[in-house]
């Protein structure tokens, strides 16, 4: 993901879409970590951005889970 994930856009996604996005972000994070370990540092600021996007997605997922549990 090249640009920041907006919370409003994430809230419109379904749980499955969020899970897929989280998987993609974790793969990106792994690849960036691997690049850093091999000395191919191209996107230093991208590591920070991916970490924040992962946190955003996990927060939205937790909010959706707690709101669905509260309505049941």
Residue 3 belongs to a domain: no
Residue 22 belongs to a domain: yes
Q: What is the 3-state secondary structure (H, E, C) of 19-37?
A: HHHHHHHHHHHHHHHHHHH
Residue 72 has pLDDT above 60, yes or no: yes
Task: Give me the CATH number covering residue 53.
Answer: 1.10.287
Structural domains counted in the chain: 1
Residue 67 belongs to a domain: yes
The answer to whether 43 touches 21, Cβ cutoff 8 Å, is: no
| pLDDT tens for each residue of 3-16 | 677 889 999 999 99
Residue 40 belongs to a domain: yes
Residue 57 belongs to a domain: yes
Which band of pLDDT confidence, cut at 50, 70 and 90, is reported for residue 1?
A: very low
| pLDDT tens for each residue of 26-58 | 999 999 999 988 888 777 789 999 999 999 999
Domain that holds residue 55: 10-71
**pLDDT computed for residue 3 by the predictor:** 67
Which band of pLDDT confidence, cut at 50, 70 and 90, is reported for residue 2?
A: very low
Extract the tokens encoding 67. 């709101």
């Amino acid at each position: 993901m090249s640009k920041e994930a907006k919370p409003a856009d994430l809230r419109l996604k379904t749980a499955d879409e969020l899970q897929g996005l989280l998987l993609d972000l974790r793969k990106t994070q792994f690849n960036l970590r691997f690049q850093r370990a091999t000395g191919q540092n191209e996107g230093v600021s991208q590591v920070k951005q991916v970490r924040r996007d992962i946190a955003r997605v996990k927060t939205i997922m937790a909010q959706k889970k707690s709101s669905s549990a509260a309505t049941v």
